[in-house]
Structure 1
Amino acid sequence: MTESAPIVVFANFLSDLAVDLNEGEILTQWARQAPRKAWLLRPGDVLVTPVPLSREFLRYVYGLTGVPPESVAVVEVPPAGAVPLAHAVREAGLVEHIRALAGDRGAALLPTALDASAISFARDVGLTIHPYPTIEAAEAALKMTMLLNTKTGFRETAEQLGMRLPPGRVCPRPQTESVARELLREYERVVVKPDRSAGGHGMRFVSREEMSGWTGLPLDTVGGPEGMWVVEECLDVAESVSIQLEVTASTTHKLFSGAMRTSHGSFTGYASPLPPSCAHVADELEEWGTALGRHLADHGYAGPFGLDALVDADGVAYASESNIRRTATTTPHAMVTRLTAGSANPHPAWSVSKARTRDPMDFDGALARLRASRLAFDPERGEGMVLYADAPPDGRSWRYAVIARSAGDVEEQEAALAEVLAFEGG
């Protein structure tokens, strides 16, 4: 953040923006990534988090960012089930505490997801919502934000804006089987996607052969019995890519682009910049993203957003979805930019990923291994490994970032990390 006014970083991963709130289990999993928001903190800021942050992790973050620990506040909100974070804050009786921490310094709320509960909370506490000038301006953007975080809303808008899309159809849940069977007459495989979902949650890949042996199409409960779904041709995908942009008062500008790491359609990591195999789609991605940004601006939206696409075996890009919110890569990118500013590596390549260690370890133990092997991030060189999301609850499922001078260096460091931390399969 560049503003002098303090920010209340509101890690509301529990939100109905990306998926329905009844998908409590996946939301709880996502909320475990809240510690990464500590990388955004500057003196005077407040972090409101649904999961605890270890003292060791906070000491590590403050050491790398140069933030005096006494100049920031971290408010840990006790779990309250599958409810928005604002509801959990109220249930825990923390509203007045957060209001006091924010003070009368013109603070703004920075939510992970702009949703109705975050807007209501900001109004209760007397905050604006970053980067909107007023609560009313943020509220005016909510309708378009909610729409374009759905698969159906995105397809309709993308078609209007001239983006290339995989062949497919939108339908209510009861019609997904008949639509899938119809499309499978033309295509070998289809992908069936619930309307409001993120990270691949609830997606189903179905082949012509599989469908011929079924009397019904087995789907997850995502979206309820009458929710909308999208059925599309399953492309022969060479790369899953994305571009992240930001809408400001005057323009839409690109922040970064890269390739997503996926497993069965689910997000597992990211590497930036785009690899040479699909670098040729960069201009088209930016063209699509800029058009979408203009559309968002016309409907009052401001802030970061992402546009995902698939690159097929012929090198052709197809837009797949939009994420009108802070994504799994927005904060890591901000962290990388912050840590490398003024270093010998001002334009780094970087990646974020996750892997399981063979044996559990605590945060200081993992960090000690990185430092002993000289893989830990070096602020002067602007390179190395960052344990950006605290120690995992099981001590084994680690998330990490790699910052290096080139994509090749990123791969080399990741290979070395797999050996040092003894990753499964490494």
Structure 2
Amino acid sequence: MTETGPIVVFANFLSDVAVDLDEGQILTQWAQQAPRKAWLLRPGDIFVTPVPLGQEFLRYVCDLTGVPPESVAVIEVPPAGAVPLARAVRGAGLVEHIRALVRDRGAALLPTALDASTIEFARDLGIAIHPYPTVGAAETALEVTMLLNTKAGFRETAGRLGMRLPAGRTCRRPRTEGVAREFLRDHEGVVVKPDRSAGGHGLRFVSRDDLAGGASLPLDPVGGPDGMWVVEERLDVAESVSVQMEVTGSRTVALFSGAMRTVHGSFTGYASPLPASCVHAAGELEQWGTALGRHLAAHGYAGPFGLDALVATDGTVYASESNIRRTATTTPHSMVTRLAARSADAHPAWLVSKGRTRRPMDFAEGLARLSASRLAFDPERGEGVILYADAPPDGRSWRYAVMGTRTGDVEEQEAALAEVFGFEGG
């Protein structure tokens, strides 16, 4: 991360970058994934998390990464409702404690998302925000970050940069139904999206039948009574794909690409590399991602971002949205890269997904099942199953990663995991 000092890994899933803060329930749900940030820790780092971090999980992570558990500091922030994590830290009286940990050590803050509250928090601590040289430099990037994490902002920018987009229109909430009806004259179905949303939250798929006979279009209470929405034609989609990029100085590089797993438009997992059926999309994805990266760099942004796209059944690729932040795949990829460096396979196939067990179990039982079935990740071979996000609060909704030499190996291990863990539907 930084060669000069420790990183404060700041798991601010509670942020207004991805969705509005009044969407408290979904933000709290996403925050349960905060333990996965432990895979980023190095000796001397500080982890600020909005949810408890299991000691068994921390030992498991440190054992695989080679980091002594006692060399990192973990600060668990008590729940404070739907407020930014920085505000919750202040409310819990933890600012001075964190400031004491980072004082005179050349530390930098690594947030999940760059937002206004995080910038002020970094100023309070007297440290920079990684990878920006100063807090002021990070603040310069805030406007473009907020804009391009919206559907409307992305459509306008992507159009100017020459990306192929589904036919669509941006409108205020009161006009959304009328715009949907207009599109349904020429299209069999439409997708209605709240302007600021992530992971498929608030998405609606609407057909002509849904609005027949005077039926209305009920929308989730996202974005307020006059918020922005996007109505797009519903494509006949073969795959949902993405490329993850990074802006470093004036350069934009592609880190990895893959296919997203979705259920009714909601993100449930990811597999890399791209499947053979849509490898042809890689060129356009990287071309569009590079153009977007240049645009971001020109407006002061630095760091990782994602560009999502849809591959239609006829093979045509359409850009769909950008995520100007660390995404649900950024940390798993960092984990995979780190673990692969300890084996002979520098470029493994991998996936992240989730499954629901028929009965609850704790982290120790989960590890025991993996070991007994020989599915547990083997650092020497660089393959196996990783419980990358700690035990779930309900003991049943498990997130996992699988690494292997080939995509086929990874899929076989995932199928075996479903049987060993007793996933519903497995």
Q: TM-score, normalised by structure 1?
A: 0.99
Query: Match for residue 367 of structure 2?
Result: 367
- SS for the counterpart of 1:288 is helix
- SS for the counterpart of 2:401 is strand
Query: Match for residue 155 of structure 1?
Result: 155
Query: Match for residue 336 of structure 1?
Result: 336
Query: Match for residue 424 of structure 1?
Result: 424
**Alpha-carbon distance, 1:213 to partner:** 3.3
Query: Match for residue 126 of structure 1?
Result: 126
- Do the aligned partners of residues 278 and 175 (structure 1) sit closer, same or farther apart at CA in structure 2, a change above 3 Å counting? same
Query: Match for residue 351 of structure 1?
Result: 351
- SS for the counterpart of 1:259 is strand
Task: Please tell me whether the aligned partners of residues 48 and 74 of structure 1 are also in contact (alpha carbons under 8 angstroms).
Answer: yes
Query: Match for residue 174 of structure 2?
Result: 174
Give % identity.
79
- Do the aligned partners of residues 106 and 233 (structure 1) sit closer, same or farther apart at CA in structure 2, a change above 3 Å counting? same
* Runs ≥4 residues deviating over 4 A: none
Instruction: Give a deviation string over 1:31-90, Cα, whole Å, max 9, x none.
Output: 000000000000010000000011110110111111111111000000000000000000
Task: Please tell me whether the aligned partners of residues 387 and 399 of structure 2 are also in contact (alpha carbons under 8 angstroms).
Answer: yes
Quote the Cα distance in structure 2 between the aligned partners of 1:221 and 1:250.
40
Task: Give the paired residue count.
Answer: 426
Task: Please tell me whether the aligned partners of residues 24 and 81 of structure 1 are also in contact (alpha carbons under 8 angstroms).
Answer: yes
Task: Please tell me whether the aligned partners of residues 4 and 106 of structure 2 are also in contact (alpha carbons under 8 angstroms).
Answer: no
Task: Please tell me whether the aligned partners of residues 191 and 231 of structure 2 are also in contact (alpha carbons under 8 angstroms).
Answer: yes
Quote the Cα distance in structure 2 between the aligned partners of 1:64 and 1:407.
22
Quote the Cα distance in structure 2 between the aligned partners of 1:199 and 1:3.
33
Quote the Cα distance in structure 1 between the aligned partners of 2:331 and 2:102.
22
Query: Match for residue 229 of structure 2?
Result: 229
**Alpha-carbon distance, 1:425 to partner:** 1.0
Query: Match for residue 193 of structure 1?
Result: 193
Pairs within 5 Å for 1:157-306: 157-306=157-306
- Unpaired segments ≥5 residues, structure 2: none
**Alpha-carbon distance, 1:3 to partner:** 2.6
One-letter amino acid of the structure 2 residue matched with residue 54 of structure 1: G
Query: Match for residue 65 of structure 2?
Result: 65
Query: Match for residue 84 of structure 2?
Result: 84
Query: Match for residue 143 of structure 1?
Result: 143
**Alpha-carbon distance, 1:4 to partner:** 4.1
Query: Match for residue 320 of structure 1?
Result: 320
Quote the Cα distance in structure 1 between the aligned partners of 2:264 and 2:28.
21
Task: Please tell me whether the aligned partners of residues 250 and 297 of structure 2 are also in contact (alpha carbons under 8 angstroms).
Answer: no
Task: Please tell me whether the aligned partners of residues 86 and 118 of structure 2 are also in contact (alpha carbons under 8 angstroms).
Answer: yes
- SS for the counterpart of 1:213 is helix
Task: Please tell me whether the aligned partners of residues 195 and 229 of structure 1 are also in contact (alpha carbons under 8 angstroms).
Answer: yes
Quote the Cα distance in structure 1 between the aligned partners of 2:200 and 2:4.
37
**Alpha-carbon distance, 1:215 to partner:** 3.5
One-letter amino acid of the structure 2 residue matched with residue 378 of structure 1: D
Task: Please tell me whether the aligned partners of residues 166 and 318 of structure 2 are also in contact (alpha carbons under 8 angstroms).
Answer: yes
- SS for the counterpart of 2:147 is helix
Quote the Cα distance in structure 1 between the aligned partners of 2:311 and 2:65.
37
- Do the aligned partners of residues 39 and 131 (structure 1) sit closer, same or farther apart at CA in structure 2, a change above 3 Å counting? same
Task: Please tell me whether the aligned partners of residues 345 and 383 of structure 1 are also in contact (alpha carbons under 8 angstroms).
Answer: no
Quote the Cα distance in structure 2 between the aligned partners of 1:66 and 1:215.
59
Q: Does residue 421 of structure 2 align to residue 414 of structure 1?
A: no
